[in-house]
Amino acid sequence: MKDYDFSGKAVLVTGGTGALGREICHAFLRAGALLATTYVADSGITALESKVGDLKKNILFIKKDLGNEKDVQALVSEVVTKYGRIDVLANVVGGYMAGKPVIEIDEKDWDTMLNLNLKTAFLLSKHVVAQMVRQSGGKVIHTAARPGLGGAGNDAAYVASKSGVIRLVESLAEEVKSRGININCILPSIIDTEPNRRAMPNADFSKWVKPSEIARVILFLASEDSRPINGAAIPVYGLA
């Protein structure tokens, strides 16, 4: 297994205090990155610091609403002020709302899924990639999902939001491919986290993809080894 070196690289992980985000942050920190991450609650800071130990000194924590354009602009500004640039964006922000038939989805739930999964990806893309254009390079990895590849009953809002992330990635990659910027996304299936185990206690957990495995894929996409890959949606399903 290759050991990646991100020494001196400024890496922004959005959603870095969740179960998957913590693993991604830890992987980048072990590889020498200068890390910035967003958080919602102070408990998330505690959880991440507990996981990474002494490496916490290399983390810049920033609390922002990533569905608000002014907050996203401020986020980018704070990271650039601290580190001088943004070499990598690993966007792990998102969520899932239990599915309903289309005829039962209310407007609020629809908007919640689109805002949480797609609008955040759009705003981060807009402002982080603008910074990468100014610095003539960078890597962006968004988190879509396996259901984004095709429709599924009782899941229209989630599917539409994640499908939108895939199309956003494809479009943006085409726009900036000549500027030294790679835009890709990952497509997890069910991730082996404690919340998912509690929600599906009778499932075969051995088939689920582990956060550490996803982190390795993201480090690859953030590395120079991924230079010829652009606009891709990478399956990370485990055995599910």
- The residue with tokens 């890496």 is 11
- Three-state DSSP at 214 gives helix
CA atoms of 121 and 67, how far apart (whole Å): 9
Distance of CA 33 to the CA centre of its chain: 16
Instruction: Please provide the size of the chain in residues.
Output: 240
83 among known catalytic residues: no
Cα-flanking dihedrals φ and ψ of residue 231, to 5°?
A: 75, 20
Q: Which of 170, 56, 162 is nearest to 118 (CA)?
A: 162
CA atoms of 187 and 99, how far apart (whole Å): 19
Catalytic residue among 4, 39, 158, 237: 158
CA atoms of 90 and 217, how far apart (whole Å): 11
Work out whether the CA dihedral 161, 125, 10, 82 comes out positive or negative: negative
CA atoms of 58 and 61, how far apart (whole Å): 10
Residues with catalytic roles: 158
